[in-house]
Structure formats: structure tokens, C-alpha cells
Structure 1
Amino acid sequence: MSSKKHIVDTMRKLYNNKLISIRDGNVSFKPKNKPYFYISAGQVKKNEITEDQVVQVFFEKRDPQISNIPNGSKYDLVFDIQSSYIPSREIYMHSYLQTMQQCFHIDNFVVHAHPPNIIAYTGIHTHRELCDIKLTFPELNVGQIGNNVKYHDAGSYGLAYNCFQNLQEHDIVALERHGTLSMGSDIDKIMEDIETLEYYTDIELKTTK
């Protein structure tokens, strides 16, 4: 399967399973040993996304004198600015992770979703850690859950860096009042973990009303 088709299929599955709304969420994929990744374009309908709406982004060693990316990144990002489609505004949330050295030699996915039950579980006005769901359901067979990412404006460098800090050694984190971010080489496992956590947080919410 092509890299772009992986992203298209994942975006459509997220939408069909009500894990994102029609213009929310984004997915990136970096092929192993390649200095680039692919990412879904911003502001396209995710239920109708096509391979043409997946953007290739190269990462190049940055020149700190001219780069407009904060010092947390070692790379500049290069893509076709003349294209009809540009990357999601959450590109830095993906690039901070996709350019990690440990990801270079593997196929790597980063998936940002907006699962409603997980968002409700972690809280709008007061917050609790997503990993606390395992206190109620210790048998849950999901990957390592990192600490919640505190609220930042969507697309901000602060959000990207906080996601990098909390996810780099884990499989999934919650973004408070926002959604989830997952990373791994097995897209089926990533989707399974999101769906499992969405299902069990729904149970917890229903029993605590």
C-alpha cells in the first residue's frame, strides 16, 4: 500500500468511527530511512480526502540563523508552497516526533484524533489523566499512556513541544480540551488503542453521571 493511501484510509476510518469531525484531525507517515514524511492537508473534508490531499514534507538540517522554527527543532521543513494543498496547521506537532533519531530507521505514524469520550473523560473545566482509566479497568490491553498534554492553542509551537515531551517515550497521550495524539509503526494497533480507550471512557462517563 502506498504511503499516501495509508493516510487516506486512516483519516476516513477516524471519521467513520466518529473519532474526528469532518475537518478535524490529521495523520502523518514517515517511511523508514527517508528524510521526509507525508501529512494530511489542512481544511479538507476528512470523509472525502484523496491522495492528492496528502502533502510530502522534507526535513533538512536547520540553519539557526535563518530558520523560523523554535530551537526545539533541529530541522527546517520544506514542501511545495505552490501546491493547491498545504499541510495541516498541526505540522509541528508531527514534525517534532517524525524527526526524532529513533524514528528514522522505522516506518512511523503519528495520528491526531478528537475522540469525544476521551475529551470528556479528561475534562473541560477540571482535568484528570487519561492513564487513570486503567485504575478502573486494569485489564485494558492498550499501549503506554503518557501524561496529558496541557491545553495550548491548536497549531502552536507550545502544543507541538508539549506533545513531543509527553509522547516521545509512550504510545498515546490525551490533549486536554482537544483530543489525542498517538505514535507507532503499527497503524492497526494505534487505531485499536484509540477505539479501546474511547469505548471504556464512555463506560466510565456513563457510570459517574
Structure 2
Amino acid sequence: MNVQHPFSPVEQRFCAQAQQHRDTGQCKATLATSYTTTPQRKSHMKLKSTALAAVVLTVACLGAAIPSTAGAQEAGTLADYPNCNSTMTTDHNMGSFYTRIPAYKRSSGSTQSHCNMAKGASGSHVRALQAILINCYGRDLDVDGSFGENTQKALKYAQERANPAVTVDGVWGPKTLAGINLPGYREQDGSHNGHCYGNVF
């Protein structure tokens, strides 16, 4: 597990600025933290990492199933996995902390972490992504649940810093989930613990 304490030099500069805003209650990072404290949060689910099979798809194969914002990075998985429509929490590889990620919820009620999301999406899964981008990458976003131009740009910013590297296409999918850092939240009150964790999945 790779633990960053708490941010890279770029994010540290944001953190210093954000601290000033927190003094006046203006910091948008507060919105990201408050989102994680919603009542009756479901019991945390441990996730098992799964290896992704390499899939070769042609443009004819994909057809209209792939949004115009999709790039090479998530091209295969857009056809293999459903669109995100919910969220889930996990403490996998995070010790006493948990994180919240976009997810796909089946009609049976079970959820899976591997799902896709692009510009135009809306809902709690987008809010989970926006909280990640604010807390771990210092992006100036509203946690409004709308995947617009600003959220797409912020996701590309995170993808540029992903490890392992991913194609910077502004599309959320399993490869991006595996490559970006995720914020840790405290079990007691759901507040951000100030750290972001790499290689969680």
C-alpha cells in the first residue's frame, strides 16, 4: 500500500490555500467531506481486486455503446462493464479508514466497483468522484452530482498523475480506479483524514 502524507507538492500548495478558506467556511473541500457523512451509511464492504482480461475491440464492434468522450484507456471496459449508477464504501487496504467510490448497483441490491462514467452522467456516483478529485487532487469543484466540463477536466488532471499510468481521456472506469489516489475517511464521523491512498484496487 502506498500512503501519501498527505499530498504531492502541487496539492500541498492547494492545501495551504484551502486552509485559509476553511477559516471562513468557504473551502469547497468541506463539501466533499460533508458528502461522506450522509446518514445511515451502509456497512463497509471489502472488495477483492480482480485482474482485467485484455480485450481487443473494433470500432464496428463498439458502435454506439461507447460515448464520444471515450478514449483508448477505457475503450474495452466501456463495452464490458455497466454505467455507474450508485456508490459503495470499502476499507480494502486502508486499515481503519474507508473510502467511497462510484459503483454499479444491480437490481438484486448487490454492488460492484467496476463501472464506467463519462461527461453527461449525474447522481451520487458523480458526487463520489467529485469528492475524490477535491480531497486528493485539490480541484476546484462543486459537489453537485453533475459530470460536466469542470469534472471532466479535473478527472483528466488526476489521470495525468495516475500510477499505474492510464490514458488521459476524462472517462471513469476500472483502469482509472486502479490508478488514482483515493481519500481516507474516519470511521467515527466520516471526515477526511487528510491522507490519500494509492494502489487501493
TM-score by length of 1: 0.28
> Normalization by structure 2: what TM-score?
0.29
Q: Which has the higher contact order (CA 8 A, sep 6+)?
A: 2
